[in-house]
Amino acid sequence: MMTSVYIDGMGLDFEDSDGNSTLGDLVGAIENDIKGIRRYVDGVCVDGEPLTGWRAPQGLRRPLVGLGEVKLQTASFDEVAADGVNTLREYTAVIKQNIEACASSLRRGGPAGPEFSSVVEGVIEVVKTIEMLARGGGAYGVALFSQDPAPCCSSLLDSLEALREAACTADSVSMADILEYELTGALAEVERITFFPAA
């Protein structure tokens, strides 16, 4: 049985002459063809069922032989990058608000409050988003940052580590200082080097 292949709903001729091709071979060939127009494979359905974890090595090694239908969905890196940059903007704005609330409570002798967890989780998401955008931007030749964002990620993670250490010793003054100065400064640097689209 020959596998039917579709990309964004259009039938595609993909010849598996020796019967040894894998899902990874198919995705690799498609992505190689569409990379020039800054698109990539974003999703895979096999015989009508969406595949999860298909980018994992075991998913990419899946043989095509025996599959009835493979549908590939593509996405524009430019659109994904714009969404990622907007997400970065939203995260930094919310984190800064939560830093203010958290630091204010700490300076009054109160607890860090629920905003503390939100700050930590938000910073981790900012780092993940920056790393994803930097990898994708490099692969597709899209400049999303005015300079290498890796030092910003390091500063954010160093600030989180210092914050964790201060929290372990219940040093609320140090926690407030780290939040207001180190973390806020690192977030300002992220905003400075990121090319945000006009709002």
Residues 178 and 84 in one domain: yes
Phi-psi region of 63 (alpha: psi -120 to 50; beta: other; left: phi over 0): beta
CA-wise closest residue to 193 among 119, 90, 38, 89: 89
Residues 41 and 134 in one domain: no
Whether the predicted pLDDT of 176 surpasses 90: yes
Asked if residue 199 is part of any domain, the answer here is: no
Strand-pairing partners, residue 49, are 46
Residues 186 and 98 in one domain: yes
Tokens of 131: 């790393």
Cα(182)–Cα(176) distance, integer angstroms? 10
Task: Tell which of 77, 99, 118 closes a domain.
Answer: 77
Contact partners, residue 152, CB within 8 Å, separation at least 6:
130, 186, 189, 190, 193
Residues 86 and 68 in one domain: no
pLDDT tens per residue across span 108-154: 999 988 899 999 999 999 999 999 999 989 888 888 999 999 999 99
CA-wise closest residue to 117 among 93, 99, 90: 99
Task: Tell which of 44, 77, 110 closes a domain.
Answer: 77
Residue 192 pLDDT: 94
Residues 186 and 126 in one domain: yes
Residues 43 and 69 in one domain: yes
Whether the predicted pLDDT of 198 surpasses 70: no
Residues 92 and 172 in one domain: yes
Q: pTM, whole model, 2 decimals?
A: 0.78
Residues 63 and 119 in one domain: no
Cα(190)–Cα(157) distance, integer angstroms? 13
Residue 1 pLDDT: 59
Question: How many domains is the chain partitioned into structurally?
Answer: 2
The parent domain of residue 20 ranges over 4-77
Residues 89 and 186 in one domain: yes
Task: Tell which of 34, 60, 77 closes a domain.
Answer: 77
Asked if residue 15 is part of any domain, the answer here is: yes
Whether the predicted pLDDT of 180 surpasses 60: yes
Cα(15)–Cα(18) distance, integer angstroms? 9
